[in-house]
Amino acid sequence: MLARGEGTSPLTSPHALEEARRNLEAKRPEALDCLQRVREQARMVPEAPMALARRALAEGLPLKDAPILAAAWSAGAEALAGVMDLLEGKG
C-alpha cells in the first residue's frame, strides 16, 4: 500500500490487499475491520506486468512480496507502507 502523506492518496493492488488480509488474520484478527476501512479509502491499481515482478525478484524480494513492489512501481507510488504500519499510524 502507498504510505499516506501530505498530498498523497493510498493505493493497493489485489495481491497487496490479500496479503494484508492474510497477515492480519494470522497476527491481529481484531484489526480486520480496520483493513476494510483502509480498502474503502484506497484506490485499487492493477497488478503489474510480469517484467516488473521479475525486476523486483532480481532486487532480492521474496516471491510473495515482489508483486507488491512491482504494482507500486507500475502505479508510480512514492512510498510503501504495510498494513501494520497503517494500523500503527506510521504510513
Distances (CA, A) of 28 to 3, 21, 56: 20, 10, 28
CA 91 to chain CA mean position, Å: 11
Domain ranges of the chain: 11-87
Q: Which of 46, 28, 15, 43 lies closest to 85, judged by CA?
A: 28
Residue 81 contacts residue 8 (beta carbons within 8 Å): no
Which carries the bigger pLDDT value, residue 5 or residue 37? 37
pLDDT of 3 > 50? The answer is no
Give residue for cell 512491482: 70
For the segment 9-20, what is each residue's pLDDT rounded down to a tens digit? 789 999 999 999
Give the predicted TM-score (pTM) of the model. Answer: 0.79
CA 69 to chain CA mean position, Å: 8
For the segment 27-85, what is each residue's pLDDT rounded down to a tens digit? 999 989 888 888 888 899 999 999 999 999 999 999 989 999 999 999 998 888 876 66
